[in-house]
Structure 1
Amino acid sequence: MWYCQALSQCPSDPHGPIARPTASESHRQPSLSAGTHPAIRALSSLNESLIINRLGQQSDRKPYAKLRKRPQSLVNQAGLRLPDASLEELDRNAQRGINLGQLDALAPCTWIQHGEQVAIIGAPGRGKTWLACAIGRAACLKGFRVRYYPMRVLLNELAKDAESRHAGALRTELLRQDLLIIDEFDPKGLSDQQYLWLLEVIDDRQARRSTLAASLKTPKEWAERVPDNQYAHMLVDRLSKTRCVFHLQGESRRIPPATENDPQEPAARPDL
């Protein structure tokens, strides 16, 4: 104990004890008072205002930059076959058979929030893929995650996922997508394993995430084309429960090839 008392008696500063500020002095803020030159006071206030304005500009700029960047990044990540398709450029001719009331109801994308499904039916060249991509792009611009797959490509990816070391990773990734677009959907002629893979993907999304199927056949014809397979019937039953079905009609939207009598290529239509 003797060395503790000795240390306590020794001053920490050889020149004497350190003077500690009083409570009133510690709370005293430095200020540019009357003793400061007016030019210095004006310069200080100017710098302070400039700093505040610059910080305000940066805080206002960053969120809007993120909002502008995010929709375009969602469009790029969606893998849309026609990423520039837009509902504003849709040919609304009555001969196409599109229910414009239903289409306008889909534009706010509330159906995606509710996990509902949509089907687009039509003969080849009637614009099924274009309309599906336009709906997908509209969803991206609303901030939803979208993924586009032709059915055969999706089956190939599911087969690779099943054989990989991280089996099931693709199903988890697909479940994260707010809208899954399956183009060229046709349940006929698949193997039992392929029916099961598709069923698992769709079953995961039931009432949780939205699915859009574009097909040559109607949901009623899907049920007629599948074999006597439990997985096949379950798959068709789940995809048939749609909010709305678009039946595209009219002439083919694809550009016809040039002929010898008419060598000039016709103008491309905006809605393929």
Structure 2
Amino acid sequence: MLMQQTLSQLRNLKLDGMARAFEEQAALTASTSLSFEDRFGMVVERELAWRDTRRLERLMKAARLKNPQACIEDIDVRQSRGLDQRVVATLASCDWIRNAQNIILSGPTGAGKTWIACAFAQQACRQGFSALYVRAARLFEELRIAHGDGSFTRRLAQLAKIDVLLLDDWGLQELDQGARNDLLEVIDDRVGSRSGSV
């Protein structure tokens, strides 16, 4: 009875990782040979791992990456692609985000720019940063509509809070004056909040 009560209390406290670890320890006879401190430490580690996993899932879902499976470890840095392995490794540290710097990926259609950008965004999410993937044309249309319905300022504030903003297919078409002004507002708000963008 005490175990069920403890499990219920852990779940009420939203300590689901601890609850699962506690259940597993109760089922394993090998864990009874461990000291209380060791067992408790394992339960706490499990809770931390559970929270990290949930945070990453939440960040990845919010990022809406076009290629969510893209990851830094899978970037092909062969000489023929023109990617410098040292630069990729340096960018993988995500210091560019901490230093409010930007990455601009350019190259021919089909070169894998979107996939690489998604890999950097996924790496950012793994390090606890927020990200959002959006095609530039869709963002400018969204901002144009936001002007009309009065939500423009609120949307700018939301974009400013995002650590990594991926603007895909930027430069495929000429921007009209309204889109140029909106882009300037997005950049200005993001610089003001010291966030990075891709």
Shorter-normalised TM-score: what interval? Answer: 0.7 to 0.9
Give the unaligned 5+ runs of structure 1: 1-49, 213-272
Distance 2:116 2:81 in 1: 12
- Which of 63, 69, 79 is the equivalent residue of 2:48? 63
Q: Which residue of 1 aligns with 2:164?
A: 179
Q: CA–CA distance in 1 between the matches of 2:109 and 2:156?
A: 30
Does 2:195 align with 1:209? yes
**Among candidates 51, 61, 73, match of residue 58 of structure 2:** 73
Percent identity over the alignment is 30
Question: Are positions 1:125 and 2:110 aligned together?
Answer: yes
TM-score by length of 2: 0.75
| Whole-Å separation in 1 of the counterparts to 2:122 and 2:178 | 32
Where does structure 1 differ by over 4 angstroms across 4 or more consecutive aligned residues?
50-60
Q: Deviations over 1:120-151 (max 9, x none)?
A: 01011010111011111111111100011110
Choose the corresponding residue for 1:168, options 148, 153, 156. 153
Distance change (3 Å), C-alpha of 1:209 and 1:143:
same
Taking a change above 3 Å as real, the CA distance of residues 200 and 70 of structure 1, as seen in their structure-2 partners, is same
Could you tell me whether the CA contact under 8 Å between 2:143 and 2:152 is conserved in 1?
Answer: no
2:6 match: none
Separation in structure 2 between the aligned mates of residue 106 and residue 189 of structure 1, nearest angstrom: 30
Shift of 1:187: 7.5
Specify which of 91, 107, 116 is matched with residue 106 of structure 1: 91
Structure 1 pair 112/53, CA: closer, same or farther in 2 (3 Å)?
Answer: closer
Partner of 2:132: 147
What does 1:1-272 correspond to in 2, within 5 Å? 58-186=43-171, 189-206=174-191, 208-212=194-198
Cα separation, 1, equivalents of 2:40 and 2:74: 41
Q: More strand by proportion, 1 or 2?
A: 1
* Partner deviation per Cα, 1:103-126 (whole Å, 9 max, x = no partner): 111011011011001110101101
Amino acid at match of 1:170: R
Q: Rg bigger for which structure?
A: 1
The runs of 5 or more residues in structure 2 that have no matched partner are 1-34
Aligned-partner Cα distance in 1 for 2:175–2:188: 18
Q: Secondary structure at the match of 1:181?
A: strand
CA RMSD of aligned residues (A): 2.2
The Cα shift of 1:188 comes to: 5.1
Structure 1 residues 122, 52: closer, same or farther in 2, change over 3 A?
closer
Residue 176 of structure 1 and its aligned partner are, at CA, apart by 0.6
Secondary structure of the equivalent of 2:180? helix
TM-score, length basis structure 1 = 0.55
